[in-house]
């Protein structure tokens, strides 16, 4: 077994080296990406179910790598979180999102916050300054946090969430249901919105368990007075499902893919016309 293990290790090694090299190269490029203006934001519509009205957009980060083309945030954000670059990148995202949204009619912009940004100092001060600089009313900013932000230093993070809330911004709990302590965080902080992870929405058609889970989260939200957004709604069938489950809002390809800032106005017109 030992000999085989060693053989397997030797076979595996070049692949691991290759992976490490590619990650290293990506990290190197990431360091210069802000200055080289390789980032931009796209915006995905969020719709209230009861009135079918567009209520806002989630800002999503895009990186156009000079030679590799678009790199998925799922690939580069973990790297940026590991080396701390997510702090300046996240600040750029927030400032750009607020400045962009300031020219929109009365709809919100939702911005994702990394747990690493909570550990850096001065998050609330930075949000205050981004709002002021953009001239965006705090009620039009929503901040999305995942439970991983609350995991490692829950007390300190909750304190910062209260500071953010005191500014007048809204706070959402993102990717709800995939972590193991989502429920306990609902008790620790009064979130304005729960976003139900798209892994549940995507399996509503074939999994009675998913239906039960989405229904339970929606009624939990209703009892707590918290909005529940179903993420990843792609089809009319899924839309009917989440409506029937009692979700109050949706986001997903069915209503719109993330679009560049220049197309936001047209998206608002189109969606409000239906
Ligand atoms: P997320 O916050 O859960 O964002 C939703 C993701 O689901 C986005 O992927 C969006 O494009 C995708 N999506 C929306 N509707 C549908 C649908 O109907 N079907 C499918 N298959 N996908 C849908 P994206 O833009 O690739 O972002 C992936 C993740 O990267 C985000 O997940 C978020 O965790 C992270 N991310 C993106 N932008 C930022 C950012 O500015 N800061 C931080 N910290 N994280 C970000
Ligand atoms: Ca999000
Ligand atoms: Ca999510
Ligand atoms: Ca996610």
Residue range 130-177, pLDDT digits in tens: 999 999 999 999 999 998 878 777 889 999 999 999 999 999 999 999
- Model confidence at 11, pLDDT cuts 50, 70, 90, reads low
What is the per-residue pLDDT for 181? 76
- 164 burial via Cβ count (<10 Å: 0-12, 13-18, 19+): buried
Average pLDDT, the chain: 92
pTM for this structure? 0.94
% of the chain residues with pLDDT over 70: 95
Q: How far apart are CA 8 and CA 105, in angstroms?
A: 59
Give the Cβ contact number of residue 5 at 10 Å: 9
- 206 burial via Cβ count (<10 Å: 0-12, 13-18, 19+): exposed
Ligand minimally distant from the alpha carbon of residue 115: 1
More confidently predicted of 211 and 1 = 211
What is the per-residue pLDDT for 10? 57
Q: In sequence order, which residues have a C-beta less than 8 Å from that of residue 39 and are 6 or more positions away?
A: 33, 61, 62, 63, 64, 89, 92, 93
Q: How far apart are CA 172 and CA 251, in angstroms?
A: 14
Give the Cβ contact number of residue 49 at 10 Å: 19
- Model confidence at 1, pLDDT cuts 50, 70, 90, reads very low
Rounded alpha-carbon distances, angstroms, from residue 27 to 75, 77, 113 = 11, 10, 20
Question: Measured in angstroms, how far is the CA atom of residue 177 from the centroid of ligand 3?
Answer: 10
% of the chain residues with pLDDT over 90: 81
Which residue has its alpha carbon closest to ligand 1 atom 45?
A: 112
Beta bridge partners of 129: none
User: DSSP states of 85-153 as a string?
Assistant: THHHHHHHHHHHHHHHHTTSSS-EEEEE--HHHHHSS-HHHHHHHHHHHHT--GGGEEEEE-HHHHHTT
CB 94 within 8 A of CB 126: yes
What is the per-residue pLDDT for 8? 52
Q: What digits encode the pLDDT tens for the residues 178-201?
A: 887 778 889 889 999 999 999 999
Q: How far apart are CA 169 and CA 142, in angstroms?
A: 6
- Length, in residues, of the chain: 274
Give the Cβ contact number of residue 86 at 10 Å: 24
What is the per-residue pLDDT for 14? 77
Near ion ligand 2, which residues have CB within 5 Å? 112, 144, 174
- pLDDT at 2 > cutoff 90: no
For residues 26-41, give the mean pLDDT. 95
From 70, 112, 205, 249, give the residue whose CB has the most ligand 1 atoms within 8 Å, as the site to mutate: 112
What is the per-residue pLDDT for 12? 61
Which residue has its alpha carbon closest to ligand 1 atom 4?
A: 60
**DSSP 3-state of 178:** coil
Q: What digits encode the pLDDT tens for the residues 202-214?
A: 999 999 999 999 9
For residues 110-125, give the mean pLDDT. 95
Q: How far apart are CA 15 and CA 8, in angstroms?
A: 12
Question: Measured in angstroms, how far is the CA atom of residue 175 from the centroid of ligand 4?
Answer: 6
């Amino acid at each position: 077994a030992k000999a085989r293990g060693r053989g397997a290790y030797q076979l595996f090694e070049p692949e691991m080296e290759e992976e490490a090299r590619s990650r290293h190269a990506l990290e190197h490029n990431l360091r210069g990406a802000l200055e080289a203006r390789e980032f931009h934001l796209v915006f995905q519509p969020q719709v209230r179910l009861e009135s079918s009205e567009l209520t806002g957009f989630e800002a999503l980060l895009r990186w156009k790598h000079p030679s590799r083309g678009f790199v998925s945030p799922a690939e580069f954000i973990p790297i940026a979180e590991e080396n701390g670059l997510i702090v300046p990148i996240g600040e750029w995202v927030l400032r750009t999102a607020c400045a962009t949204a300031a020219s929109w009619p009365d709809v919100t912009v939702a911005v994702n916050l990394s747990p690493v940004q909570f550990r850096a100092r001065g998050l609330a001060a930075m949000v205050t300054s981004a709002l002021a600089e953009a001239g965006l009313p705090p009620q039009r900013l929503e901040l999305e946090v995942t439970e991983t932000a609350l995991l490692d230093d829950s007390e300190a993070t909750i304190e910062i969430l209260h500071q953010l809330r005191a500014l007048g911004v809204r706070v959402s709990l993102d990717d709800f249901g995939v972590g193991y302590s989502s429920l306990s965080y609902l008790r620790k902080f009064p979130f304005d919105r729960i976003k139900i992870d798209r892994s549940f929405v995507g399996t509503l058609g074939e999994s009675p368990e998913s239906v039960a889970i989405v229904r339970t989260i929606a009624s939990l939200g209703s009892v707590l007075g918290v909005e529940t957004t179903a993420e990843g709604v792609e089809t009319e069938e899924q839309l009917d499902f989440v409506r029937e489950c009692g979700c109050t809002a949706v986001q997903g390809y069915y209503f719109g893919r993330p679009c560049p800032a220049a197309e936001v106005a047209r998206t608002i017109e189109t969606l409000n016309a239906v």
